[in-house]
Structure 1
Amino acid sequence: MALHQFGYSIFNRNISTFAPIDNVPVGSDYVLGPGDELRITIWGSLENTYIQTVDHYGRIYLPTIGPVRVWGLNFSQAEKLILAHLSRYYKDFQSSVTMGHLRTIRIYIVGEVAQPGAYNISALSTITNALFAAGGPNKTGSLRNIQLKRNQHMVEYFDFYDFLLHGDKSRDLRLEAGDVIFVPPIGSIAGIMGKIKRPAIYELKEPIRINDLITMAGGLTPQSYLKRVQIIRTKPNAEREVIDLDLTHAEKDGTTPKGIELQNGDLVIIYPTDPRIYNTFSLNGSIKHPGEYEVKPGITIRQVLPPESLLPEAYLDNVEIIRFKDDLTTEVIHINLKKLWEDEHAQDIFIQPHDLITVRSEFKAPESITLTGEFKRPGTYTIQPGERLSSVIRRAGNFTNVAYLKGAVFTRKAVQVREKEMLDQFVKQYEEGLLAEGQALLSYSAENRSIRELEIAQRRQQLKLIASRVTLGRIVIHLDTIEKFEGSQNDLILQDGDILTVPREPVEVMVLGSVRNPTSFVYKNGKNIQYYLNRGGGFSKAADKKEIYLLKADGSALIGFLKLRNIDPGDAIVVPPKIEIKDWTWIKDVATIAGQTALTFAALSILL
């Protein structure tokens, strides 16, 4: 945490906030001077109001009476003098003397201030008002030794900390014309940080001890750890040292840690107490009030888990306690809570600090399957153990008239997890293989090494693409009318999270890969694969004609005898490019691991 010098930020505020107010009654000790305005009101035998400004000779003029010198008099003295003059000429009257507009005075602010110079300020201004007008002391200027000089004599040493820390303005004197405020360079400093109420860098007016600095910083917090207090001290040769202190039993006698005198540049760190709680145990699971509890002397499982403390679904036969041993290993203790309640002589277990007690639930969340697409009542259905797909299809009202059963997509979470594990294992193994091949290139000639490095880079790029694939967990199933489907090999026993999507019948066949115009074409009944390849402009130069395969709408892929294959709506003809890499094992593994995922994505793009 960055420390800031204490007190200087107050001068960052708008200076008008701290400007003196002119339109308030002045005190009886206010000293009059040229420019001050007096308002004299007379009533009784005569009534009149005279507004007079003290001229540069220090006089005001009263009708009939003439000039009256008031310069240098305080307000109380001037009021009595005016009344005395009026009494010589008038009888049976009363009078009131008040101040009007106050004069401005010119003072000088020099030294380590933001904007040194001469200032015309209100005659009510004090040292503090003047400092705000000048933007306050610089960070290199003192807040604790501000000097007020008047007529070449030192009048006051003003400590701004008295105002900031105690609200004391008793030494914040009112200024007079010609006064000089001098801000000398800052004196010795010491910082304090950590668990203290007001961490900052403080100016030291005189040598102080640690407890004095703590008091200046507002005192300790409840989290202050007095057994570990540090002083970071800079030695004269610019080396730094650390002094560790224990302030728990310190006295202010100069010999104990609290009595250590601080030096210029010292940094005191108050460390926090240990945030951990050591006298608690934890209750979790099917409990009415789970949480952290105090480990009281002799407390046992029977006491903390009475029957009324548990939820109805609590599983009583196996309550689990995880206990931490002294060597930081754990042991698991199993308790039959039902037997413990029934048998008063059954051995109870004392609870220890940090025990984690878990009461599991007998409640099992319902499992479900989601049906989307062309069902009469699509949605999420709760399933029973052992229930088959045909049963849920019947509950959903069967398929709609436009359902395309050949394009059904069935996904399962467990399959998705296995696919992801296989993909991750494959990527890891091949990454290790590529690293080994890279190291083996050191023995190659420069020319051969360059070729192999390019090949490895290409394979690594392909590996990244494979690793980024999202596994879907698709299982290829062949749907049929509900009468034929029920009881067939494809009528799967359902698992929680299964999803079955049945699309509408598509009207296109896709031609993908190395053809001149890869796109979708309107399905023509009875047309073979060559028809759609011709519609795609035929093969490109990069086409691998021997590796063409047919991706069926149900997710299966067919190779060989393609000219004899029936083409159905939603099918895709895939023409892969030729890949000239010597390591054909790599290609085989890539196809094995990533193929199913790619086919599923392609099928979804066709059908959905």
Structure 2
Amino acid sequence: MPAGIPAGTNISPQQIRQYMQNVPNAPALLSAARAQGEAGSGEVSAAEGEGAEGEGATAEQKVDTLRPAAFSSIEQLYRQQYNSPLARSLTQYGYNLFQTSTNYTSKLAVPGDSYIIGPGDKLRIRIWGNGQDAAYTGTVRRDGTIDVPQIGIIPVAGTPFGKLEDVFRSEAEKYIQGINLSVSLAELRSVEIYVIGEVSRPGLHLVPPFSTVIGGLISGGGVKKSGSLRTIKLFRDGTLVQVVDLYTLLLYGSREQDLPLQDGDVLFVPRIGPTAAVAGAVLQPAIYELTSEKTAADLLELAGGALPQTFTRKLLLRRFVDNQEFVIKDIDQRSGSADLAKVSIQNGDLLELQYLGATWPEVVRLEGNVWAPDIFKYRPGLKLSDILTDPSLLKPDSIIEFGLLHRYDPQTTRYRVERFPLARVFQHDYDAELAPYDRLEILSRKEYNIKEPVQLMGSVWRPGEYTYTPGLTLGDLLGMAGGFRFEADTGRIDLSRQEIRNGEVTTINKTLSADTNGDFPLQPYDYIYVRHVKDAASFKSVSITGEVKFPGTYRIRDGERLSDLIERAGGFTDKAYFYGAYFVSAKAKLIQQKSINKMIDDLELRVQSVLSDKAQTLATDKDAALIAGQQQALKGLIGRLRQVRATGRMSITLGPLASIKGTDFDFELHEGDSLHVPQKPNFVSVVGSVYNANSFLYRENLSLKDYLDRAGGPTKTADRKAVYVVKANGEVLASSQGSFFNSFWNYKPMPGDTVVVPENLDRLPYMQLIGNISDILFKIATTAGIIFAI
């Protein structure tokens, strides 16, 4: 009990004021409380010690005053001084009630008729009738009166709410007759109380109306762990009206002692009384405050009783005796000689209930690749068939041939493994007795990566490796592969099978038919090959375009000839230019490209050899720079040549259909061949090292020289000895082919011919290193069927 408030006595207002003088900042708090009381609401409190809250305290500061210390001194004692692992997590029971509770009772709550009006209540008065219609809201002043317009000052303090309208009507009718009047409470006044003792914020507090003892304690910041939860005193008008034991609320849910507060009430929280703790296998291990509890049975009841996991009924009572020694008393109820109701409890005792140690139950387990792993209580005579009743217990891909029995050996404290025939158990052809702690394991083929493949290759839609399954037949496997392709030979299917005989592998070959051997049973590792008929699904096609009646792509049969293609295309039109026919052979293209690549490879080797010899004779750095430049230029030339692609053009002789049919010019066609029959052009082209490379109108009597003259003639850098003509039919005529009697320059080009005038490569320094470079380029150009002029 604080100084000036003797225990067990009544408390007068003078004694409260005397106590408040010792509370920090008390005068300011009282002034603020009175000021806010006149306004109708608010809260003023004096904080404990240096944590006092002023008017400008922050929200964080206010929250901090509600935070308890990590562990109180009492908790630390029980946790550290009793040499008990079970006590290391003990906390004081009940104090967390104030960490989560709030006290926000609505000021708009509707009171009963017996509610006594007092200063701070806000009233709403409405008058109507006889020409009057007015409303007024006002607050009851400190002197207990309210000033209502047109009526005057009316004393209302001390009046029950149910009689308030009668008071206002009797006053109003003195001035206005024949009116109606209603009075209601707009807002209730706050209640001014004192919360003192072991609370976080002792002092004067304004709490919402209808607040109870719990709300008052919350407004004081809650009971500190040094304060009592079981002997809280409520004083009213200097008289003790209630001793509140919060355990009745916390343990039994009873609010019988949680009385409503009134103006001027004092809540006093004394220091905590005797304590004892319960640790271990109880419903609520904690440190409890004692009042009427005297025995171990009483203490165990506070903790909710023992759990089913309690070790029999053996308890330990740890105690400090006369502040001199620490003792541990063994309470063993198994003998019946110890009665908890007769074991007395002292301040500071720790009652400890040990947990029941887990024992190994005698069970048999089913585990592994099963739908529902299960546990079975062992009994004498339990057998495999009692647990493995049906194959439906197993998941897909279980190993059915055998299972594993894990049996515990108590001599070695280890399991040993035995194999048992699982399939025979399901067939009721095998059984065995089980022992305690046995584990039956069903293995999974997938988990052990067990694969028994069969291979199907050849003319099926999805050839590859398939997983063997019991009962798999040839027809089943063919169905899994999507069936046969068009070119499949269904009457001759090859099967190769591996068999082990006398420690050696023997391969057996069989020829099957899909029509008669569809039910042939397969075995793991069989190899099946479906043959395909040659060219059954391959279609040869050629194309014909240009001046034919029906150009397009046509499929051909073996041995079909050029005349057959022209006939199927409807023959030539009147505009067909036979001399300029352009025939491309896929086979010729491959041959030409190989020839071009070989000539370029030979040229590259020749260049490397010449440059290597030249580098060995270098005299100065200038010569080295010159050779490096020539080497770069030759590499560029070879790079350009590497891009040359053969066209595959063949020079053919074409004429009206009747003139070629059955002749040597009516050759056999092959896959990928194409024929283009152009219209007759009316020009001859001159390209290369001339002054005016162009196409010129064809004249029947003009010679090659005439066309060169029209192009301005060869330039100074032209190689006149290397001029050649690419004829429209694909043939090449070179100047080197001319003779005294058949002058090359007198040749009369045909429409579509091209005259090519190459550069004189001998004038280029880097070309001088390689002899006959013009001949090589000419061969590459004519082989590729292109116009290549440097």
TM-score (normalised: structure 2): 0.40
Contact 1:316 1:359 (8 Å CA) reproduced: no
Residue in 2 aligned with 1:20?
Answer: 105
Separation in structure 1 between the aligned mates of residue 450 and residue 421 of structure 2, nearest angstrom: 27
Deviation, 1:37, is 2.0
Q: Compare 66-75 and 3-12 and name the one that shifted more.
A: 66-75
Separation in structure 1 between the aligned mates of residue 299 and residue 253 of structure 2, nearest angstrom: 18
1:206 maps to a residue whose letter is S
Residue in 2 aligned with 1:76?
Answer: 162
Tell me which of 270, 284, 307 is aligned to 1:198: 284
Separation in structure 2 between the aligned mates of residue 330 and residue 78 of structure 1, nearest angstrom: 89
Tell me which of 260, 272, 275 is aligned to 1:186: 272
Which aligned pairs between 1:238-249 and structure 2 lie closer than 5 A?
A: 238-245=324-331
Residue in 1 aligned with 2:239?
Answer: 153
Instruction: Encode CA deviations 1:544-587: one digit per residue, 9 max, x unaligned.
Output: xxxxxxxxxxxxxxxxxxxxxxxxxxxxxxxxxxxxxxxxxxxx
1:227 maps to a residue whose letter is R
Separation in structure 1 between the aligned mates of residue 308 and residue 384 of structure 2, nearest angstrom: 34
Deviation, 1:184, is 0.3
Alpha carbons of structure 1 residues 355 and 87: separation in structure 2 relative to 1, 3 Å: farther
Tell me which of 319, 330, 335 is aligned to 1:233: 319
Contact 2:275 2:349 (8 Å CA) reproduced: yes
Residue in 1 aligned with 2:434?
Answer: 351
Separation in structure 1 between the aligned mates of residue 183 and residue 332 of structure 2, nearest angstrom: 65
Deviation, 1:95, is 3.5
2:225 maps to a residue whose letter is K
Alpha carbons of structure 1 residues 43 and 313: separation in structure 2 relative to 1, 3 Å: same
Residue in 2 aligned with 1:7?
Answer: 94
Alpha carbons of structure 1 residues 78 and 147: separation in structure 2 relative to 1, 3 Å: farther
Alpha carbons of structure 1 residues 27 and 200: separation in structure 2 relative to 1, 3 Å: farther
Q: Compare 303-312 and 174-183 and name the one that shifted more.
A: 303-312
SS at match of 2:242: strand
Deviation, 1:181, is 1.7
Alpha carbons of structure 1 residues 236 and 274: separation in structure 2 relative to 1, 3 Å: same
Which aligned pairs between 1:35-184 and structure 2 lie closer than 5 A?
A: 35-45=120-130, 46-62=132-148, 66-83=152-169, 85-86=171-172, 93-184=179-270
| 2:348 is the counterpart of 1:265 | yes
Contact 1:42 1:48 (8 Å CA) reproduced: yes
Which structure has more relative contact order (CA 8 Å, sep 6+)? It is 1
2:216 maps to a residue whose letter is A
Separation in structure 2 between the aligned mates of residue 352 and residue 83 of structure 1, nearest angstrom: 96
Alpha carbons of structure 1 residues 237 and 197: separation in structure 2 relative to 1, 3 Å: same
Deviation, 1:138, is 1.3
Separation in structure 1 between the aligned mates of residue 113 and residue 106 of structure 2, nearest angstrom: 17
Whose radius of gyration is greater, 1 or 2?
Answer: 2
Separation in structure 1 between the aligned mates of residue 424 and residue 134 of structure 2, nearest angstrom: 106
Contact 1:190 1:267 (8 Å CA) reproduced: yes
1:37 maps to a residue whose letter is K
Which aligned pairs between 1:318-329 and structure 2 lie closer than 5 A?
A: 319-325=404-410
Contact 1:320 1:359 (8 Å CA) reproduced: no
Separation in structure 2 between the aligned mates of residue 248 and residue 73 of structure 1, nearest angstrom: 68
| 2:119 is the counterpart of 1:34 | yes
Instruction: Encode CA deviations 1:68-94: one digit per residue, 9 max, x unaligned.
Output: 433234433445544555567666554
Deviation, 1:24, is 2.0
SS at match of 1:18: coil
**Amino-acid identity (%):** 30
Which aligned pairs between 1:503-522 and structure 2 lie closer than 5 A?
A: none
Contact 1:246 1:257 (8 Å CA) reproduced: no
Contact 2:388 2:425 (8 Å CA) reproduced: no
Instruction: Encode CA deviations 1:377-402: one digit per residue, 9 max, x unaligned.
Output: xxxx9xxxxxxxxxxxxxxxxxxxxx
Separation in structure 1 between the aligned mates of residue 252 and residue 106 of structure 2, nearest angstrom: 23
Which aligned pairs between 1:377-526 and structure 2 lie closer than 5 A?
A: none
Instruction: Encode CA deviations 1:335-366: one digit per residue, 9 max, x unaligned.
Output: 5556767786x7x5432321233455788536
1:300 maps to a residue whose letter is K
Instruction: Encode CA deviations 1:231-290: one digit per residue, 9 max, x unaligned.
Output: 32332235333334456898xxx9722553432222233333344451311234455544
Instruction: Encode CA deviations 1:207-254: one digit per residue, 9 max, x unaligned.
Output: 25444444433455454445333332332235333334456898xxx9
1:70 maps to a residue whose letter is V
Which aligned pairs between 1:210-221 and structure 2 lie closer than 5 A?
A: 210-221=296-307
Consecutive unaligned residues in structure 2, runs of 5 or more: 1-87, 452-464, 466-790
2:228 maps to a residue whose letter is S
TM-score (normalised: structure 1): 0.51
Which aligned pairs between 1:289-300 and structure 2 lie closer than 5 A?
A: 289-296=372-379, 298-300=381-383
Contact 1:247 1:258 (8 Å CA) reproduced: no
Contact 1:83 1:95 (8 Å CA) reproduced: yes
Separation in structure 2 between the aligned mates of residue 337 and residue 106 of structure 1, nearest angstrom: 84
Deviation, 1:110, is 1.6
SS at match of 1:193: strand
SS at match of 2:399: coil
2:449 maps to a residue whose letter is A
Alpha carbons of structure 1 residues 29 and 359: separation in structure 2 relative to 1, 3 Å: same
Instruction: Encode CA deviations 1:185-218: one digit per residue, 9 max, x unaligned.
Output: 0012222233333332222232254444444334
Alpha carbons of structure 1 residues 32 and 277: separation in structure 2 relative to 1, 3 Å: farther
SS at match of 2:187: coil
Separation in structure 2 between the aligned mates of residue 30 and residue 326 of structure 1, nearest angstrom: 83
1:356 maps to a residue whose letter is R
Separation in structure 2 between the aligned mates of residue 362 and residue 34 of structure 1, nearest angstrom: 88
Separation in structure 1 between the aligned mates of residue 428 and residue 201 of structure 2, nearest angstrom: 86
Alpha carbons of structure 1 residues 63 and 153: separation in structure 2 relative to 1, 3 Å: same
1:265 maps to a residue whose letter is G
2:347 maps to a residue whose letter is N
Alpha carbons of structure 1 residues 292 and 134: separation in structure 2 relative to 1, 3 Å: same
Contact 1:11 1:135 (8 Å CA) reproduced: yes
Deviation, 1:141, is 0.5
Alpha carbons of structure 1 residues 338 and 100: separation in structure 2 relative to 1, 3 Å: closer
Alpha carbons of structure 1 residues 325 and 258: separation in structure 2 relative to 1, 3 Å: farther
Contact 1:107 1:178 (8 Å CA) reproduced: yes
Q: Compare 108-117 and 156-165 and name the one that shifted more.
A: 156-165
Separation in structure 1 between the aligned mates of residue 180 and residue 166 of structure 2, nearest angstrom: 13
Deviation, 1:299, is 1.6
Contact 1:207 1:263 (8 Å CA) reproduced: no
Deviation, 1:325, is 3.6
Alpha carbons of structure 1 residues 257 and 171: separation in structure 2 relative to 1, 3 Å: closer
Q: Compare 115-124 and 333-342 and name the one that shifted more.
A: 333-342
Contact 2:94 2:250 (8 Å CA) reproduced: yes
Instruction: Encode CA deviations 1:429-487: one digit per residue, 9 max, x unaligned.
Output: xxxxxxxxxxxxxxxxxxxxxxxxxxxxxxxxxxxxxxxxxxxxxxxxxxxxxxxxxxx
Deviation, 1:171, is 2.7
Separation in structure 2 between the aligned mates of residue 87 and residue 151 of structure 1, nearest angstrom: 38
Separation in structure 1 between the aligned mates of residue 168 and residue 388 of structure 2, nearest angstrom: 92
Separation in structure 2 between the aligned mates of residue 269 and residue 281 of structure 1, nearest angstrom: 35
Contact 1:193 1:270 (8 Å CA) reproduced: yes
Alpha carbons of structure 1 residues 315 and 208: separation in structure 2 relative to 1, 3 Å: same
Residue in 1 aligned with 2:449?
Answer: 365
Alpha carbons of structure 1 residues 67 and 197: separation in structure 2 relative to 1, 3 Å: same
Separation in structure 1 between the aligned mates of residue 200 and residue 416 of structure 2, nearest angstrom: 67
